[in-house]
Structure 1
Amino acid sequence: MAKNYISLQGKFYLSEIVNGVAGVMRHIGNVPEFELEITTDQVEHQESTSGQRTTDFVLTKTTGVNFSGQLEEVDAENLKYILSGMTTEVASAPVVDQALGTVKAGQEIKLNGYALTNVTFNAGATPVDESKYTLDAVFGTVIFHEVIAEPVTASYTTGAVSSTTIASDFNKEYELFFKGINTATGSHMAVNLWRTKKSPETAFPLIHEELGQYEISGQALSHTEKGLDPTLGLYGHVVNIPAA
């Protein structure tokens, strides 16, 4: 008799839901761990006729479906998803005569941009020689090596960058789809969660010894219209696809 063991691998996709409609599927990259958890709130009733106070009925009041997993690929869309943020494309722009005040030797100063080009500094009307400072154009910082008597101004052009805010967008919903293969049997498994909302609670490590992994978690929300179809279910369904 064949053993129905299971060992799943596969691809995960998210589709942003706008006005109740799931949009284009987006593959979220390698996902080394992912699991579903079914929760319930139950009330147990004990009978009082046998003298044993046994449980003779269980009322299930509420149900829930939670998910948790890890993402490894952090493109712009995944970063926004992990951080519950909003992404803005910031265009290149000129900055003229940004006032830095009187600078101190050894003090590192942050300018207003990244990937800077055409950077110059003036002390009053006099240009500051490049030997008097060290510029990190990528991060937009500068260290002056000596005190400059007059107030310093900076002029430069900022580079185009992508900016993602942190913990600023908690309302997005996504349909989740899993295309799985059971490597134990060669069959396939599909999983749909009709409506999911990610929890804003997460950890975002900034230092790594190996490849970074980013934890995500959240819950599936019920879809009452799909729940009317017993093959679809309120939260979603699992479809077993036999091996060809």
Structure 2
Amino acid sequence: MNIDLSGKVALVTGSTEGIGLAIAQALRNAGADVVINGRTRSKVDAAIARLGGIVRGHAADLSTAEGCHVLIEAEPEPDIVVSNLGIFQPLDFFETDDAIWERHWQINVMAGMRLARAYLPKMAEKAWGRFVFLGSESAFNIPAEMIHYGVSKTADVALARGLAKRMAGTGVTVNSVLPGPTFTEGASAMLKDRITEGKTFEEVGIDFVKTHRPTSIIQRPATVEEVANMVVYAASKQASATTGAALRVDGGVVDFIV
């Protein structure tokens, strides 16, 4: 399959590192004109440099309606939007206060919703568009150690499904992509206390999967590139019959057959 996104503008939120940066790189490799986003200008500029200066970027804090408005004004009509921005914070349910729930909701759900509300009608006018939400296997496999995160990711999957139905017949598709444990900077920070002398991040990541996600079929975290590959497919012209789908890149963690 030769995926060619030449002539398409692709916006990736939360794309200064990790999965978002890998998605930006993969979309650029496929020929798209890529726009990245982060909270600060310094992080955006650093990411642009890491990508060889062949993308452009905007600093905007998408945790607020005002920040979303800044980005929408700067990039009014992308053809492809990847709502990748997200946070996670392991914390017991009974220690998770309203502020933490609200922060996860605003960043993980409302940011993508606001962009979808602004961009999907413009895509429909052009009779073509791709909107991809980054969900998580935690949407189906709610982690007891961060229920608040799992709930927000379930909402992302539901939002994508509902929007796919709303955009029926327009030429616009909406999907969610669900990574499992992945080798990212965020995972490294979460596992830093387990990284001991003589054990690499990769080895600790594999131990984490085998212990805490034992249903994983690949028995390791995914790479950011493996997740990005699925997003590029969902963003492609070839994916015209793929909409309303929850596309899993979880290594088989979620233990059912659909």
TM-score by length of 1: 0.21
Structure richer in helix, relative to its length: 2
**Greater RCO, 1 or 2 (C-alpha within 8 Å, sep 6+):** 1
- Normalised to the residue count of structure 2, the TM-score between the two structures is 0.20
Kindly indicate which of the two structures has a greater share of residues assigned to strand: 1
Asked which structure has the greater CA Rg, the reply is 1
